Amino acid sequence: MLTRRTFLASALAAPCLAAPAAADLLKVRDLYQVKGRGLSDLAQQSVGQRLEIEGFMAPPLKAESRFFVLTKMPMAVCPFCETEAEWPNDIIAVYTKRIVDVTPFNVKITTSGVLEVGAYTDPDTGFVSLLRLVDATYG
């Protein structure tokens, strides 16, 4: 039987029950080791899984691209045009099915995609990535 007391108790508990879903939203830094240049245990265990990661869209390397780089902090210029040996530990390449609508570099976005690791060279731009989200969406 639903009484006023049980209704209030369940209404007050509902936000606490929903809180773990927010923990599923990752930050770029969660995918890298705290010290060193390697990937975190979380990244290693999440290969092939769909993840949600928040960050900032770096300025695109070329117009009408199907990928962008997600960074942990806003970046107005391209600081990551390097080889995989020099891959920074604060970015992730994001590959989408559609041409990317550029978001201002200082607006936080959330991406969702399947995690891939290992060196990959984009055939259109020559951009080399070590860590990627594929089949991704963002907003």
| Residues above pLDDT 90, as percent of the chain | 41
Do you know the residue count of the chain?
139
Kindly state the tokens that stand for 71: 């960074």
pLDDT digits (tens, 9 = 90+) for 100-123: 999 998 999 999 999 999 999 988
Contact 90, 55 (CB under 8 A): no
The mean pLDDT of 5-29, rounded to a whole number, is 53
Write down the pTM of the prediction: 0.76
Kindly state the tokens that stand for 119: 């060196």
Identify the pLDDT of residue 98: 92
Contact 121, 127 (CB under 8 A): yes
Q: Is CATH 3.30.1280.10 the right assignment for the domain spanning 23-138?
A: no
Give the residue, 85 or 43, on which the prediction is more confident. Answer: 43
Q: Is 10's pLDDT higher than 50?
A: no
